[in-house]
Amino acid sequence: MKIRIENLNHIYNPGNPFEIKALDDINLEIDKGEFVGLIGHTGSGKSTLIQHLNGLLKATSGKIFIGDTEITKKDTKFKKIRQRVGLVFQYPEHQLFEETVCKDIAFGPKNLGLSEEEIEIRIKESMEVVGLNYEEVKDRSPFELSGGQRRRVAIAGVLAMKPDILILDEPTAGLDPRGRDEILGQIKSLYEKYKITIILVSHSMEDIAKLVNKLIVMHKGRISMVDGPRAIFKRVEELENIGLGIPQITYLMRELKKRGKDIKDDVLTVEEAEEELLKYLRSKNDA
């Protein structure tokens, strides 16, 4: 499902001394099935932007289309929009409240008026997608689980609504390395299996580099860059000028290139770096 944004503006506290223009004339298109990364320093407008996509915030001016539906119209039925656009906030496990994992995941589908049979199917499917064993955890309290497992329960609750678009706001925030890797692996598997549109908001250039096929950079409420991650991360000076950076492995490869090594310097992941360095070492041995 395509997202189209036209001349979107958002002002907090309009008309008083605390007025802040959080979004400034945003124009953007995200095609169906894209995996998009959204980056920018704190206060750049990322969270404000994503909260417009399912109607949690109302635009000061401009238009937003989800598919063919303009959601900035006054008569928009946001219940239907929120079924199509799933939003997972930072620390979503703080929003868990039911006594069992099964009941928590079922909350959204029940509000859709689905049959008990369909709800059960959706619970099982969403738990499988996020890597939770249905029989092992369905009757447990979410609060007995690890931080990473609780987060997966929260994500499963959104997935059980079967959204066409999934927005994840810093989904690995606060997790240990193992929990972080598990969540990112599940997000990647979800995308590969269902090809739904995913928007990933992150401060981690490494996470973004591993996952997305399109990157949006925000600065002071405006869209600063839109391109593939490899093309964006070549613009090192521009990124650093707005308080961002590139993956650490990319910095390393750029430094090796400066020192005369015959290697690519647009490598984004450790796996790519390993492959490139092995290739370089083999060429040295063959010479």
65-92 confidence digits (pLDDT tens)? 999 999 999 888 888 898 899 999 888 8
Q: In what order do the strands lie in the sheet with 214-219?
A: 85-88, 165-169, 197-201, 35-39, 214-219, 222-227
- Residue 287: band (very low, low, confident or very high) from pLDDT cuts 50, 70, 90: low
Q: Which two tokens stand for residue 172?
A: 């690995």
Q: 248-258 and 270-286 helices cross at what angle (nearest 10)?
A: 20
* Distance from the first to the final alpha carbon of the chain: 52
Phi then psi for residue 107, to 5 deg, are: -55, -50
The mean pLDDT value for 172-183 works out to 86
Tell me how far apart the alpha carbons of residues 165 and 97 are, in angstroms, rounded to a whole number: 24
Predicted confidence (pLDDT) per residue in 228-257, tens digit: 999 999 999 999 999 999 999 999 999 999
Query: What was the pLDDT predicted at 215?
Result: 97
Query: What was the pLDDT predicted at 35?
Result: 97
**192: helix, strand or coil:** helix
Decide if pLDDT at 147 tops 90: no
Decide if pLDDT at 210 tops 70: yes
Query: What was the pLDDT predicted at 21?
Result: 95
CATH 3.40.50.300 domain residues, the chain: 3-243
Q: Is CATH 3.30.70.100 what the domain over 3-243 is classified as, yes or no?
A: no
Query: What was the pLDDT predicted at 24?
Result: 97
Distance of CA 218 to the CA centre of its chain: 14
Query: Rounded to whole angstroms, what are the CA distances from 287 to 62, 261, 264?
Result: 61, 14, 19
Provide the residue type at 188 as one letter: K
Higher-confidence position of 100 and 92: 100
Tell me how far apart the alpha carbons of residues 92 and 77 are, in angstroms, rounded to a whole number: 24
Decide if pLDDT at 120 tops 80: yes
Under a CB-based contact definition with an 8 Å cutoff, are residues 109 and 102 in contact?
Answer: no
Tell me how far apart the alpha carbons of residues 223 and 233 are, in angstroms, rounded to a whole number: 16
Phi then psi for residue 141, to 5 deg, are: -70, 135
Count CB atoms within 10 A of the CB of residue 196. Answer: 19
Count CB atoms within 10 A of the CB of residue 169. Answer: 20
